[in-house]
Amino acid sequence: MKDVAVAAGVAQSTVSRALNGVPVTEATRRRVRTIAEELGYQPHPGARALRGAPTMLLGAVVRDIADPFFAGALRALSIEANKRGYSVVLGHARAARDEAVSLTAALKARHCDAMVLLGDLGVDPRLLDELRKVHVRVVALWHGGTPQAAGFPSVGVDNRVGVRAAVAHLAALGHRRIAFVGPGAHGDIRERQAAYENYLSGVGIATPAGYVCHVANSIAGAKQAFAALRALGEPPSAIVAATDLLALGLIHAANEGSVAVPSELSIVGFDDIPLAAAAMPGLTTVRMPVQKIVAAGVALAIGDRAQSNDGPLLDPPHLIFKPRLIVRGSTSRCLDSI
């Protein structure tokens, strides 16, 4: 910038003004702009940050980027952030439980204007504590109302409504032996499981031992679950999977085991990832309003700082969006009930 000033024969401050839209003579502005262009001048973000300017960096912490659902969420996040001129910095909670986590988080926190937590990271409270101390806005997405996240604003989905729609759909098709498969550990999933149990007991349908199956959120996990459920004395005629990844794995496992979907076994997923529509048969699932949730999260994280004169908000907002059941081919009338 000094070089530009010299080349243009003006003071540095004038260059700064010309480049930042502060009133300057039109001639000066043009000259400065031209010269800056020629010299390939690039403002130094560090120097700006030093002056208190935002870094325009948004931290995103996600357990596993390769999970199709979170990959989609991350894409939405990136797009939404870019709209507002922000870039996304990736954080891994993968190696969690190590001190590496807090280190990573702290490191990023310094760079970032705000942070978005995607999914229940199953993270130890220390990380949250550190995050609270650092003076950046933290928003939790899909945290499933775990008490850990209580201090942060959050945006999520109405798991209860989603699961009720799924189970009610199965019940309406005549199913009475309905199992649940999900990764056991995370907040959102626990909500889904609770909703499943709550609804069934509400309408007087039993859930025998073994009908709730906790496995890893992966194809392999789904195969385990399938095997376990088929080994039961009275195998289910329908399964509610807590995620589409599990649902797709269950369909595969069923194909492998020569169990016809949906005629012998109905399967409902949750998320509506792109692959869900392409499965054979198409997966009946609960569509997550990813776009809306992410947009709301970003708005909370970096939107109108005007209304929030910083400091931790005493009553952080908790937004809940409603999902919608998408009926495809993986569910059909229960044979027993004909």
Contact (Cβ atoms closer than 8 angstroms) between residue 155 and residue 138: no
Residue 278 binding: pick among a copy of itself, DNA, none (C-beta 5-8 Å cut-off by kind): a copy of itself
Q: Which does 22 bind (CB under 5 to 8 A by kind): a copy of itself, DNA, none?
A: DNA
Site string for a copy of itself, 200-239 (x = CB under 8 A): ------------------xxx-------------------
Kindly state the smallest distance separating residue 144's Cβ from a copy of itself, in Å.
23
- The residue type at 197: E
- Coarse DSSP helix, strand, coil percentages of the chain, rounded to the nearest 5 percent: 45, 15, 40
Closest CA to 118 of 54, 55, 72: 72
DSSP letter at 148? G
Helix (H/G/I), strand (E/B), else coil: 156: strand
What is the rounded CA–CA span in Å between residue 86 and residue 65?
A: 19
Q: Contacting DNA (CB under 7 A), which of 30, 44, 305, 324?
A: 44
109 or 149, CB closer to DNA? 109
Q: Tokens 């996040």 correspond to what residue?
A: 77
The first and second tokens of residue 186, run together, are 């995370």
Binding mask 61-100 for DNA (x = CB under 7 A): ----------------------------------------
User: From the list 6, 39, 53, 206, which residue makes contact with DNA (rule: CB under 7 A)?
Assistant: 53
Name which of 80 and 188 has its Cβ closer to a copy of itself.
80
What binding mask, one character per residue, do residues 45-74 give for a copy of itself by CB under 8 A, x or -? xxxxxx----xxx--x---xxx-x--xx-x
CB 55 within 8 A of CB 49: yes
Label each residue of 107-139 as H, E or C: HHHHHCCEEEEECCCCCCHHHHHHHHHCCCEEE
The verdict on 257 binding a copy of itself (CB under 8 A) reads no
Note if the bond before 68 is cis, omega within 30 degrees.
no
Q: Give the one residue of 29, 214, 252, 328 binding a copy of itself; rule: CB under 8 A.
A: 252
Beta carbons within 8 Å of 294's beta carbon, 6+ residues apart:
73, 76, 77, 80, 141
Q: Say if residues 247 and 254 touch (Cβ distance below 8 Å).
A: no
Cis peptide before 235 (omega within 30 of 0): no
37 or 98: whose CB is closer to DNA?
37
Residues in the interface with a copy of itself (CB under 8 A) total 56
Among residues 4, 35, 91, 162, the one that binds a copy of itself under rule CB under 8 A: 91
Quote the least distance from Cβ 170 to DNA, whole Å: 57
Binding site for a copy of itself (CB under 8 A): 40, 42-50, 55-57, 60, 64-66, 68, 71-72, 74-75, 78-79, 82, 87-92, 94-95, 100, 104, 106-111, 133-134, 218-220, 249, 252, 255-256, 274-275, 277-280
Which residues of this chain interact with DNA, rule CB under 7 A? 1-2, 9-14, 16-17, 19-20, 22-25, 27-28, 41-44, 47-48, 50-51, 53
